[in-house]
Amino acid sequence: DAGVTQSPTHLIKTRGQQVTLRCSPKSGHDTVSWYQQALGQGPQFIFQYYEEEERQRGNFPDRFSGHQFPNYSSELNVNALLLGDSALYLCASSFSGGVTEAFFGQGTRLTVV
């Protein structure tokens, strides 16, 4: 049973560029949440996708957008990258029908230079 997988694992981008991160949820899960985690901090909630729609959103600008596909996989897009966007981006999947336990991928380390 495959867990949550994210790609790529590491990425270096230039300020102003755009980036797309990908996530495949754990088998049987239908909800995907994205988090940004700065070094030494807890994860900060970006948004959550369920039934291909953004269901909840944290305090992040519109430069952060996402998508969920019919197979429940998801993408996180960040436009006009800033140096402060450098972080570990985590994808978590869960099942909407029960207690909201999140299972995480290994994350994508984004460095903006």
Partner 1 sequence: TQLLEQSPQFLSIQEGENLTVYCNSSSVFSSLQWYRQEPGEGPVLLVTVVTGGEVKKLKRLTFQFGDARKDSSLHITAAQPGDTGLYLCAANLNRKLIWGLGTSLAVNP
Please, are residues 19 and 11 in contact by the beta-carbon 8 Å criterion?
Answer: yes
Query: Does residue 66 belong to the site contacting partner 1 (CB under 8 A)?
Result: no
Whole-number minimum distance, CB 110 to partner 1, in Å?
A: 13
Whole-number minimum distance, CB 80 to partner 1, in Å?
A: 26
Any residues with CB less than 8 A from the CB of 75 and at least 6 apart, and which?
20, 21, 22, 23, 66, 67, 69
The 29-58 contact track toward partner 1, x by CB under 8 A, reads ----x------xxxxxx--x------xx--
Whole-number minimum distance, CB 26 to partner 1, in Å?
A: 11
Query: Does residue 103 belong to the site contacting partner 1 (CB under 8 A)?
Result: yes
Start-to-end C-alpha separation, the chain: 37
